[in-house]
Amino acid sequence: MKIGVISDIHSNIVAFKACTKYLEEEGCDEYLFLGDYISDTPYTRETLDYLYEFIDTHMCHLLRGNREDYMLGQQMDIEAGISENIWLYNSASGNLKYAYELLDDKDLEFFKSLPISFDYVKEGYPTIKCCHGSPDNSRQLVQLGSDEAKYWLEKIDCDYMICAHTHFPGEFNYKNKHYFNTGCVGIAIKDAGFAQCMILRDCVQDGKIVWRPEFLKIPYDNHKVIEDIFSRGMYEKGKWFVNSNIQILLTGIDHAADMVSLAAELARKAGDTTPWPNIDNHYFEIASKELGIPEYSSF
């Protein structure tokens, strides 16, 4: 039995197709998709259309990530007319708005249909708790070896848990339970030019079936992705956040969360009470320069 595990595609159809090609060639029997299908790179429409085709022709089990939750939240804010929460084309929310405007009703209904976690159950094999963030929160970061990881391994009623969201692949074992993180397909940290995914293989140990992970790094054309960020107009719509994503794609260095936090802190210290997502690009520019995020004017 081979299970291909894919997460955090982040609209990167180039990396996504490289992974599925490899996993198909390896003869995977089933696939787990752990969310964050969209945002951060410019291929939202192509990614979802390809995903729909893939799940129609393969045995797949899917959940939604925090990015899909963001999209559903934006839909509700727009329908409710909560103008202060509507995304703008700026460094705070332009990256998300770019993805949202490429969605249609089918996509949003698809996101709604997905759980934030599920149990993978197959007769004769150990059950796996599958999550994006944690079993009850798509945004929770469950880092390898963390107290959160220990908490959830103690709490779940099976011996295996797979999460994503952190973009750090690896394995953590605790009290005879096993936590695997598949890493990130679309904007992999520390692995510029590679997409991270995983194969789970069953094997027999001490007379019982267990799961063994194989953590993969699949090469793809990251330069094409960056070129299309510019050619498709994504860059100017999310300026400094997009600069951070380009830095990850080129170098594997990730300052995105620190940039957002620092920009908010700079605004607070300046006495600027403008609510998110209306925060001025100026604060993102200062934060980016302090953190060493380059300004990529072209590629």
284: Cβ contacts below 8 Å, ≥ 6 apart: 91, 92, 239, 240, 241, 259, 263
Mean pLDDT of the chain: 97
Query: CB–CB of 90/274 below 8 Å?
Result: no
What would the mean pLDDT of 173-188 be, rounded to a whole number?
A: 98
Residue 154 has pLDDT above 70, yes or no: yes
pLDDT at res. 299: 65
Supply 105's token pair: 């009703």
Supply 24's token pair: 């198909």
239: Cβ contacts below 8 Å, ≥ 6 apart: 90, 91, 94, 281, 284
Please calculate the CA angle 265-270-274 and round it to the nearest 5 degrees. Answer: 75
- Enter the DSSP assignment of 106: H
Closest CA to 70 of 85, 59, 60: 85
- Give the tens place of pLDDT for each residue, 233-276: 999 999 999 999 999 999 999 999 999 999 999 999 999 999 99
Residue 208 has pLDDT above 90, yes or no: yes
Its pTM stands at 0.97
Q: Is the dihedral of CA 131, 136, 140, 146 positive or negative?
A: negative
Domain ranges of the chain: 2-219
- Give the tens place of pLDDT for each residue, 19-70: 999 999 999 999 999 999 999 999 999 999 999 999 999 999 999 999 999 9
Residue 297 has pLDDT above 90, yes or no: no
CATH 3.30.43.10 fits 2-219, yes or no: no
The pLDDT confidence band at residue 160, using thresholds 50, 70 and 90, is very high
Supply 49's token pair: 């259309």
Closest CA to 26 of 221, 203, 216, 220: 216
185: Cβ contacts below 8 Å, ≥ 6 apart: 6, 7, 8, 9, 10, 12, 15, 16, 19, 195, 196, 197
Query: CB–CB of 10/180 below 8 Å?
Result: no
